[in-house]
Structure 1
Amino acid sequence: MSGKIYEKEHQIKYYECDTTQKMTLSMLLNIMLHVSGEQSYILGVGDEVLAEKGLAWIIIQYEVKVERMPAFYESIKITTQATSYNKLFCYRTFKVYDTQGNLCVTVNSTFALMNVEERKMARVPDEIVAPYESEFSKKLIRTPKPVKVDEENMISKDYHVRYLDIDSNRHVNNSKYIEWAIDTLDLEFLTTHEIETMTIKFEKEVHYGQLIHSEMSLTKTQDNEVITAHRIGTEDITNCEASIVWKKIV
């Protein structure tokens, strides 16, 4: 695995946590993106450099594995590494460690560049990725697909996209999809279960003012494992799909 590693210390704030005082996944992903943005800025290929070329990073997929979600006031170390890229996709790994050096969370992510004016994916310029010293590979990394929602046994909630849901790319911030997905589960479930793994794939942009439908179905395996399948959609369009494996809090 190639690519420069960048790391950042972070102390968890109360507003980054849920009612169980554990850090929320959506907040952790936001902070991870901030850390990778810092690395890009230091390497001279930050957002302002991309903007001059009419480009912006977009996230295609996250694969998350949680060993232990850090808690309020805990100090953590976040590392990030751009591992490889091809003509269209860039792959980046994030890891979270506690003060004893124990691995808490691993996130493998897939990024692409968007032509801001055309709102279409763009080829990855060599001068943008060269500072990360990641490996070029023509081979596409096959990422796991989220479990499909069982339409006969699903529940659905609707949300209107608010001004504070959108980011500087003029579309809904990726963390909002996770919040919409998790909000389909009730308080009793969320306070007695925690995320073990999650796969989430972003398909199409959602914009200000749109009405979105957050759909969810839940299944239990023979091993008593709980899996939820999620779909975020607008009208007849699937904008995002996710699946989450949950474990009981002990």
Structure 2
Amino acid sequence: MTAEIFSLDHQIVFYETDQTRQLTAGMLVNLFMLASQEQSNHLDLTAQKVQSMNLGWVVTQHLVTINRLPKLGEKVVIKTQAQNYNRFFCHRYFWLENQTGELLAKMHSVFVLIDQKKRKLTKVLPELVAPYGSVYTNKIEHLSEPKKPNIQPTYPAKTYRVRFMDLDGNHHVNNVHYFDWLIDAMPREFLLTHHLKAVNIRYKHEVYYGQLITSQVSVTDLGQQLISYHQILTQDLENCRAECHWEKMTTLIK
């Protein structure tokens, strides 16, 4: 049995892009999550139904690979497959293609089920994954951890206050906001001269409404390629860690 691949057509709109007129990394993940949500709705496994059981799906890690980000107005196809799971972890895959089938980006995500009242991990319920055609396996893939940044940040750290609109239906900060915090730690000049090619992001501890978070980064220059190592911190607690791979642009965006 193979898990169903769900497809969703979409056209990139202006609020999904930045000044380069390309889809942002955060919005890329938003589109992937939208496809996941639409598949769940299609199978009558809505967020409301899961929440009525005092449960919620939470992302623990994303592995993102980008060939190129689509431009404003470009028509794309978003695909997703809830491929396999074990007692505690569910692995879902995503693909973004243009209308000719060119692979623009892909993502491998790990989800866990939490008890909303206890805010603790709980076992995956078969009735919540069976409709996707997900396959149970004992030999599920373990994703590599992002490397920890150097003690000395390359650029000045930035701070952000967690707002009400940063929270989602699970009452915690939507995982996409971390992408914005991470990437915003990079200077504008850097972002205008480099393509983001890959992201490994690991969510470790929840961030709560009203908290002040710090985004810091250290960069390793490997010539044509650069790697940035990121942390999201609340005081001394590491809430999120990420590793981003960048490529210098051959043609600068004006």
TM-score, normalised relative to structure 2: 0.95
- Counterpart of 2:177 in structure 1 is 176
- Counterpart of 2:63 in structure 1 is 63
What are the ranges of 5 or more consecutive residues in structure 1 without an aligned counterpart?
Answer: none
8 Å Cα contact 2:182/2:231 also seen in 1: yes
For residues 6 and 201 of structure 1, the distance between their equivalents in structure 2, rounded to whole angstroms, comes to: 25
- Deviation of 1:236 after TM superposition, in Å, equals 1.6
1:23 match: secondary structure:
coil
RMSD: 1.2
Q: For 1:1-250, what aligned pairs fall within 5 Å after superposition?
A: 2-154=2-154, 155-221=156-222, 223-250=223-250
For residues 59 and 126 of structure 1, the distance between their equivalents in structure 2, rounded to whole angstroms, comes to: 18
- Deviation of 1:139 after TM superposition, in Å, equals 2.2
Select between 227-236 and 144-153 the one with higher mean Cα deviation. 144-153
For residues 72 and 21 of structure 1, the distance between their equivalents in structure 2, rounded to whole angstroms, comes to: 6
For residues 142-177 of structure 1, the C-alpha deviation after alignment (integer angstroms, 9 at most, x for no partner) is 102112110124431111111111111111111111
2:152 match: secondary structure:
helix
- Deviation of 1:141 after TM superposition, in Å, equals 1.5
- Deviation of 1:2 after TM superposition, in Å, equals 2.7
8 Å Cα contact 1:200/1:240 also seen in 2: yes
- 1:32 counterpart letter in structure 2: F
For residues 30 and 122 of structure 1, the distance between their equivalents in structure 2, rounded to whole angstroms, comes to: 25
Aligned residues: 249
For residues 112 and 2 of structure 1, the distance between their equivalents in structure 2, rounded to whole angstroms, comes to: 21
For residues 109 and 119 of structure 1, the distance between their equivalents in structure 2, rounded to whole angstroms, comes to: 20
For residues 169-195 of structure 1, the C-alpha deviation after alignment (integer angstroms, 9 at most, x for no partner) is 111111111111111111111011111
For residues 194 and 2 of structure 2, the distance between their equivalents in structure 1, rounded to whole angstroms, comes to: 36
For residues 166 and 32 of structure 2, the distance between their equivalents in structure 1, rounded to whole angstroms, comes to: 18
For residues 198 and 153 of structure 1, the distance between their equivalents in structure 2, rounded to whole angstroms, comes to: 19
8 Å Cα contact 1:2/1:84 also seen in 2: no
What are the ranges of 5 or more consecutive residues in structure 2 without an aligned counterpart?
Answer: none
Select between 82-91 and 163-172 the one with higher mean Cα deviation. 163-172
For residues 100 and 41 of structure 1, the distance between their equivalents in structure 2, rounded to whole angstroms, comes to: 27
2:180 match: secondary structure:
helix
For residues 112 and 194 of structure 1, the distance between their equivalents in structure 2, rounded to whole angstroms, comes to: 31
8 Å Cα contact 2:65/2:198 also seen in 1: yes
Percent identity reads 37
For residues 98 and 198 of structure 1, the distance between their equivalents in structure 2, rounded to whole angstroms, comes to: 21
For residues 165 and 112 of structure 2, the distance between their equivalents in structure 1, rounded to whole angstroms, comes to: 24
- Deviation of 1:89 after TM superposition, in Å, equals 0.5
For residues 80 and 224 of structure 2, the distance between their equivalents in structure 1, rounded to whole angstroms, comes to: 34
8 Å Cα contact 2:66/2:106 also seen in 1: yes
